[in-house]
Amino acid sequence: MAKRKAPTSKAKGGATDPEDVFPPDSVGIAPLVRQILKNIGEDPDREGLLKTPARVDRAWAFLTSGYHTDPRDVVNGAIFTEKTVGTHDEMVVVRDVEFYSLCEHHMIPFFGTIHVGYLPNRKVIGLSKIPRLIDVFARRLQVQERLTQQIAQSLLTILNPRGVAVVAEARHLCMCMRGVQKQNSVTTTSSMLGVFRNSPQTRNEFLSLIKG
């Protein structure tokens, strides 16, 4: 798929303000949606469906906007050097971040919460940027295992911390609405990098903090 260039607004001095980056409101699938409606036996010309192809087009532009967002642009300007941070074991944890994504196998939603922890190495990130970073990867066609790994690896690359831990808990509508139809099943995935992988004590501390 060709990469679209998302329009951006300019901050003072002509620089791009990452807070104002937004995707194009169309991915050009309205005609395809109209054909799908016909194929399933619907009438795309009836009143309730007249605007559905355009609405779906705009919705997919938003739901897949992560393909056109660079994680570094999201966190740009929100990474701070703290000389005293990283000299001890101060763990930073952001828990219960809601996310919504699309399963790449059936293009049906899966959603839940993600917990992120890291041990700084002199650098810290603005806390509001962690949910934004999660959205970059969630707004793509995904599998939960890869989503979890991408978030962890991205933080490791951007911050160079002593370790990163990410745990995702999600419900998959492809399991609830079709297939085995198990409505209460929850899938948990984790990615432990650096000290979180090498130190059981550090890993267990993180897991105890996100249980609260």
**Domain endpoint, select from 7, 33, 63:** 63
- Tell me what the mean pLDDT of segment 20-38 comes to: 83
3 occurs within a structural domain: no
Q: Does residue 124 sit in the same domain as residue 151?
A: yes
Q: What is the mean pLDDT of the chain?
A: 87
Catalytic status, residue 68: no
5 occurs within a structural domain: no
- Tell me what the mean pLDDT of segment 95-101 comes to: 98
Active-site residue, from 35, 82, 98, 105: 105
Active-site residue, from 142, 144, 149, 150: 144
Active-site residue, from 103, 115, 142, 149: 103
Tell me the per-residue pLDDT of 68-86, one tens digit each, with 9 for 90 and over. Answer: 999 999 988 899 988 766 5
- Give yes or no for residue 16 having a pLDDT over 50: no
Q: What pLDDT score does 212 carry?
A: 66
Q: Does residue 154 sit in the same domain as residue 90?
A: yes
Active-site residue, from 42, 153, 174, 205: 174
Tell me the per-residue pLDDT of 129-172, one tens digit each, with 9 for 90 and over. Answer: 999 999 999 999 999 999 999 999 999 999 999 999 999 999 99
68 occurs within a structural domain: no
Q: What pLDDT score does 126 carry?
A: 94
Catalytic status, residue 176: no
Q: Does residue 59 sit in the same domain as residue 122?
A: no
Q: Does residue 80 sit in the same domain as residue 158?
A: yes
Q: Does residue 32 sit in the same domain as residue 134?
A: no
2 occurs within a structural domain: no
- Give, in order, the Cα–Cα distances in Å from 107 to each of 4, 85, 103, 174, 195: 20, 42, 5, 9, 35
Active-site residue, from 90, 98, 104, 145: 104
86 occurs within a structural domain: yes
Q: Does residue 150 sit in the same domain as residue 177?
A: yes
Q: Does residue 202 sit in the same domain as residue 144?
A: yes
**Domain endpoint, select from 32, 63, 94:** 63
Nearest residue to 124 (alpha-carbon basis) of 155, 146, 151, 96? 155
Catalytic status, residue 174: yes
Q: What pLDDT score does 27 carry?
A: 92
Q: By the 8 A CB rule, do 163 and 197 touch?
A: yes
Catalytic status, residue 172: yes
Q: Does residue 94 sit in the same domain as residue 136?
A: yes
Catalytic status, residue 115: no
Q: What pLDDT score does 125 carry?
A: 94
Q: What pLDDT score does 184 carry?
A: 74
Active-site residue, from 106, 153, 169, 205: 106
Whole-prediction pTM: 0.85
Catalytic status, residue 205: no
Domain span including residue 52: 23-63
Q: Does residue 56 sit in the same domain as residue 87?
A: no
7 occurs within a structural domain: no
